[in-house]
A = this chain, B = another copy of it.
Amino acid sequence: MSDASSFDPVFRSRLHALLAWRRDVRRFHRDPLPEGTIERLIGLACLAPSVGLSQPWRFVLVDLPARRAALRSNFLHCNAAALAMQAPERAQHYARLKLAGLDRAPCQLAVFADPMTRQGHGLGRHTMPQTIDYSAVIAAHSLWLIARAEGIGMGWISILDPAAVAAALDVPSQWRLIGYFCLGYPEDSDTVPALERAGWEHRRRPGEFLVRR
């Protein structure tokens, strides 16, 4: 590589491998992350882009057993409701899927966005205020990739009632839940999504998502 700002073909190839091996992890070992790891990963995730440099991401590390229990209870409730909404021919299949690693993941993290932040002075978000949420999404995705590069798996749980999560975590009322994440060492690694391995859905060719205007 010519300087710190350029990246060589070996790196690029490994970056593509990282994208291919990143998974939405549901099955974790119980081993904790080394001391200081999650704080370091969050620090790197804050290099993410944000609308108007607003840095609207808010990370909530959830350790208290009572709060974790409330989250898990909410997931079980929402997942039962989702199961009840399945088409009859898919319900049994749905019931067999493992859709959260809340039972064993040693590290749990909620990510919120603060739409009221004054940071950034409102730049870039008058016509598309949802870019505040998108900025927090990108911070979460950055964390996902950095963690995976260290052999740490991450799983995104969206089968939750956002209002119940906010209440269980006692966060400022204006914060919006982006997602609840489990982190830890995964039981296995794969280039194929778990939902594809389970036969729930399969990935389409990229060309199907591209149109020209």
Contact = CB atoms under 8 A, between A and B. Distances in A.
Interface of A: 4-7, 11-12, 14-22, 24, 39, 42-49, 51-55, 57-64, 67, 78, 81-82, 85-87, 90, 94, 97, 99, 110, 119-128, 130-131, 133-134, 137-138, 141-142, 144-146, 148-151, 156, 158-162, 169-171, 177-179, 189, 191, 193, 195-196, 200-204, 206-207, 209-213
Contacts of A149: 7, 11-12, 15
B127 A159 contact: yes
A139 B164 CA distance: 28
A47 to B, nearest CB: 4
B162 A61 contact: no
A170 to B, nearest CB: 7
A42 B17 CA distance: 15
B46 A189 contact: no
A58 B16 CA distance: 21
Contacts of A4: 17, 21
26 contacts: A7-B18, A7-B149, A7-B150, A11-B14, A15-B149, A16-B146, A20-B47, A22-B49, A39-B206, A52-B201, A53-B196, A53-B200, A53-B203, A55-B204, A58-B209, A59-B211, A60-B212, A61-B211, A63-B212, A82-B127, A94-B123, A119-B201, A127-B160, A128-B160, A131-B179, A145-B145
Contact of A128 (B64, B162, B171): B162
A42 B5 contact: no
B14 A7 contact: yes
A96 to B, nearest CB: 13
Contacts of A212: 60-61, 63
